[in-house]
A and B are shown apart, each in its own frame.
Chain A
């Protein structure tokens, strides 16, 4: 009798737990597609605007991943800013305060090359710390699971939007940090910090060769192929009137890891023979550091991706004013001759209105992936599109379709000035941010919440049954590469 009573007690307890917590339970997940809210169960009470996500995957052991967002240290205003770490291929995530920045970064990107053979590390990060001045730290962790604070290898002020890519080579990782460096002369601010010794030393390489409007745009994006070809894309701002930048979309290339005396000068534009191919000239890019596209700001969204097995094929995507009254339109172009010539117009299906946060990646089989977030019918819709034929035919998967008017913005960026997409084996993996209401209708491919959530009542709880307000959460996803 006692055993029976104990059984029912355990059963009812488990049932109550499942009904109220709802975490770590897969909700209607589509076959092969994984969408996971990164907020851990033990932070179920959080209501932060965890925007601007990024992702790094350990190439040798892709079970190990690091993600980031504008997530503050959950327990201390003076503690270190955290990152999310997964050791099981993204099924579960924990938060560990290992960045060198106090409380919360105001920009962070990272990469995990594997040349130095650290099974759970070689995480290289570029972070901005926000105080009276904005400070860049370029830092490294050899073991992200050890929970030690990352080692700062280089630091300086007066820069913006570090964007880290890397390539593992022997025992010295090659690291490329695109950034807008206001310390550069003559307004040639588009810069790539290059390290060929695992971050021990960095050399700042200005990649702008033309006259600017006093500076270039914030986004400077490197892309590295396995054969040591390094591309970088940037917005060459030619005019700026406070609300609109007249900009070229420029791509530079280096064929030897950018370690020579004149790096990033392999591509010259036929119009002026200067380094940097002008993919498009004089596009109009609105600059609005206020809620403009829904509750999001706009002004600098840019992505570049190179085929890992054929560095001649490279894609670039950006947003500009568009046409027919649209304020922000995405475009994607392609080169198949190492950036010498580019498609004259947008690739099919890639002129996308009212959208931002473009991220491109190319898989081993040549499939190209395109992640973006579109404001449509008062909702933020997150798409991942892929194609084997340069977007002539596409597979479009909607990962999230959430209300755009809630929650209210806590700060800008609302979702992020970027999100991210990577190709890992036969998967596209990435991160995006969205309203975290536990409503299965918002996640057409299904979703897994680690934090306490009740999908029946569509409410979050703090783990003790108390309701928690909705907020912006970072979401990890994996989508099979189109064969």
Chain B
């Protein structure tokens, strides 16, 4: 590279850094990483183009050569050297050769990967030593850890009750005759778990220290991600008042009590998550 090109590249890099709002704060970066399913550093190779057939080409689409992959789902094949189609929010900020870290969500998967930009950070690849990939990956791993907490926080916020407890009994729930019964391959086959509450992390006191939790016993596609309870299982359970079975109360020890459900993936957590849950509930 001759001196003039080096100088021009430096000016370009400085200008780009100046005009684009960078997600410099750690919180902003964490938020972007949280939103993003695929994060990678790359170099724009074509403007107004796509990297494989079947992706709608527009002025907003560019082809980016991947320099390093920082975050992706395990199912997705993406590696250094691959060409990715990125639909940009504002293509005017990009030129051929622009280097950036792209925060994206998946879009179309074919012979290649196409993504939609959620945000970006320009990288100075010319006239400046590239940041070691390992350093990037460590930073993003830390960010992703924080995001797991954020997602857990969301689940805790949505729960009516969060308890630490032990499952003392599991049995099939026979709906009363008054309840509508339907035969379907998606029949949840409701079961009940009696949970002996050891401590309440969120929600009011539990009379008698036991709650009834309904959960689908069926391994149908509709319920495959719902927790399944086993006797003597101990853990942290995010519970919501039963709005699924049509019979939201049950008589326990002679009194009518509310029944709960635990349906979402991740609503049943191992005891090892207790410190995190306690800490998040304090926030």
Contact = CB atoms under 8 A, between A and B. Distances in A.
Interface of A: 24, 40-48, 51-52, 70, 73-77, 79, 85, 87-88, 92-97, 104, 106-107, 128, 130-134, 145-147, 158, 160-161, 180, 182, 214-215, 218, 240, 287, 289, 297, 299-300, 409-413, 417, 450, 452, 462-464
Nearest to A143: B56
B118 to A, nearest CB: 12
19 contacts: A40-B111, A42-B110, A45-B74, A45-B76, A70-B221, A74-B106, A88-B53, A92-B110, A94-B52, A95-B108, A130-B221, A132-B243, A132-B261, A160-B184, A218-B183, A410-B224, A412-B218, A450-B111, A462-B77
Residue from B55, B105, B106 having most chain A Cβ neighbours under 10 A: B106
B113 interface: yes
Contacts of A160: 182, 184-186
A45 B75 contact: yes
Contact of A85 (B54, B77, B186, B265): B54
A43 B77 contact: yes
Interface in B166-202: 180-187, 189
B185 A297 contact: yes
Contact of A79 (B106, B180, B263): B106
A79 B186 CA distance: 22
A412 B75 contact: no
Contacts of A87: 53-54
A410 B108 CA distance: 25
Contact of B107 (A93, A147, A409, A462): A147
Given A145-B56, A146-B56, A218-B183, 19 more contacts: A41-B111, A42-B110, A43-B76, A43-B109, A45-B76, A48-B75, A73-B106, A74-B76, A75-B37, A87-B53, A94-B108, A94-B111, A104-B221, A132-B243, A214-B183, A218-B184, A289-B218, A413-B185, A413-B221
B244 interface: yes
A240 B223 CA distance: 24
A412 B222 CA distance: 9
B110 A40 contact: yes
Contacts of A104: 221
A300 B185 contact: yes
A42 B112 contact: yes
B79 interface: yes
B219 interface: yes
A483 B77 CA distance: 43
B106 A92 contact: no
B132 interface: no
B109 A94 contact: yes
Contact of A24 (B55, B111, B223): B111
A464 B77 contact: yes
Which 4 A-B residue pairs are closest in the complex by CB-CB distance?
A94-B110, A463-B77, A75-B106, A75-B37
Given A76-B106, A87-B53, A106 B75 contact: no
A310 B183 CA distance: 36
Contact of A412 (B38, B180, B183, B220): B220
A336 to B, nearest CB: 33
A377 B113 CA distance: 40
B108 to A, nearest CB: 5
B105 A76 contact: yes
Residue from B54, B181, B185 having most chain A Cβ neighbours under 10 A: B185
B38 A75 contact: yes
A88 B265 CA distance: 38
Contacts of A287: 183
Contacts of A413: 185, 221
Contacts of A133: 244
A392 to B, nearest CB: 35
Contact of B77 (A107, A410, A452): A452
A242 B34 CA distance: 46
Contacts of B108: 94-96, 147
Contact of B111 (A77, A92, A215): A92
Residue from A132, A146, A240, A287 having most chain B Cβ neighbours under 10 A: A132
A245 B109 CA distance: 42
A417 B220 CA distance: 11
A106 B79 contact: no
A215 B76 contact: no
B78 interface: yes
A161 B185 contact: yes
B73 interface: yes
A7 B124 CA distance: 33
A476 to B, nearest CB: 14
Contacts of A240: 183
Interface in B78-107: 78-79, 105-107
B263 A411 contact: no
Given A79-B105, A79-B106, A95-B109, A74 B75 contact: yes
Contacts of A94: 52, 54-55, 108-111
Contacts of A77: 265
Interface string B203-225: 00000000000000011111110
A350 B86 CA distance: 51
Contacts of A158: 182
Nearest to A160: B184
A130 B56 contact: no
A46 B105 contact: no
Contacts of B185: 160-161, 218, 289, 297, 299-300, 412-413, 417
Contacts of B106: 73-76, 79, 97
A92 B109 contact: no
